[in-house]
Every structure is written in structure tokens, then in C-alpha cells.
Amino acid sequence: MTRTKRTSHGRRSLRAGLATTGLATVLLTAMPVASASAAPIPSGDVMIESGPYQDYALCASPADNWVWLEHIDPKNPDPFCTWFRFGNPSQFMLYNPAKKQVMAYTGGNEGAVVMENRNTSPLGPNGELWSWGGQEAWGASALQSFWDSGQNVDAKNGFDQPRTDAVHTRGWRHGHQRELTWNEVPVS
């Protein structure tokens, strides 16, 4: 490929990337989105429910920047436990409209999962992205950091109970896997 063709292709890719980034920026700054036709990227309101601990979901803390696992009432969801998912299952952002922040990974094995303003992660943009692993036999999937796909959001406190401290990640091979799995549940 000649230099001219590579440069032209690179400029087209850059323009396409900027257009996609611009669309996401417009959608995130215009929260909440008025209609599905105006917002093809977000999934709508969802809860991220624990695979093994039914009726426990990820919730943004209204008091600090931590993410907690909390018992929920699916018929009356707490706004701090509902999320917009921006992107596809292999790369997405979780935005909490009540907190007006995104969920982010802080790095390292057993790294904290926190709430932060968009585009402020010390890990860069990938620190604010997540992905779903394959669905396991019990019907749930690992919620993985996109920055480090070996780190999965952990629901267990170490004593086979739902955790009562702030949520952290854990490697798939370190202990049981079931506690690292979640389901995206639409909020009606």
C-alpha cells in the first residue's frame, strides 16, 4: 500500500472514530435520553444482578465513590442500582443516571470498583469500560474489566456470602468462579 493510500485510509478511520466518539459524547451529555430512536447505543435502564446471589445487584453509593452489592427489590428498583449500558457486550460503559457517573476499575488484582466522572480514570478510557464473558452453565456471565479482562467483578465476601464491603475485582482462577458472574436485568 502506498503512503498516500495509507494516509487516506488513516484519515477516514480517524474521522469515523471521531464521529463515533462524538455520538457517544452527545448521548452521555444529554442524559437522560428521551427516546430509543435518538439513542441507538444505550441498553436502557438495567440492573446488574449477581449470578449466585439472587436479588443482589451492583449499586453506586450516594455518599461516596464506591460501588456496593445491595439487596434489591426488583419491583421497586433503587435509582442508584440502575444503569445505562453504552456499547455492545464486548466493550461497554456503565453509567448511573442517579450518580451521574460511570463505573470504573482502579487496576491490580482485587482492585476497587469505583464511581467516577467520565474520562477521569487514571487507567485511561479503558479503565471505564467493561465486557461480558461467555455465559456459564448456571446462566450468568463474568463481568470483566476491559482494561484487564483477567479481572472480574466479585460478589463474594470470602465466606460464601454476598459481600458487605465495597466491590472489588478478582481473577477467574483465584477461588470460585460463580461469584464473579452477573446478569443484566432490564428495569421495567
Sequential pLDDT tens for the chain (188 residues): 433 333 333 333 333 333 333 434 434 443 333 323 333 345 678 999 999 998 999 999 999 999 999 999 888 889 999 999 999 999 999 999 999 999 999 999 999 999 999 999 999 999 999 999 989 999 999 999 999 999 999 998 777 789 889 999 999 776 678 999 999 999 87
Question: So what's the pLDDT on residue 3?
Answer: 35
Omega prior to 32 cis, within 30 of 0:
yes
What local confidence, expressed as pLDDT, does residue 170 receive? 92
Residues in the chain: 188
pLDDT of residue 50: 95
Backbone angles phi, psi at 5, to 5 degrees: -65, -40
- pLDDT score at 21: 36
Q: Which pTM was predicted?
A: 0.76
Instruction: Detail the DSSP E strand segments found in 31-158.
Output: 42-50, 56-60, 67-71, 83-88, 91-96, 101-105, 113-116, 130-135, 141-145, 151-154
Nearest of 131, 103, 136 to residue 117 by alpha carbon: 103
Please state the φ and ψ torsions of residue 140, each to the nearest 5 degrees.
-120, 165
The cell for 150 is 483477567
Alpha carbon distance 57, 45 (integer Å): 13
Element (H, E) at 17: helix 3-29
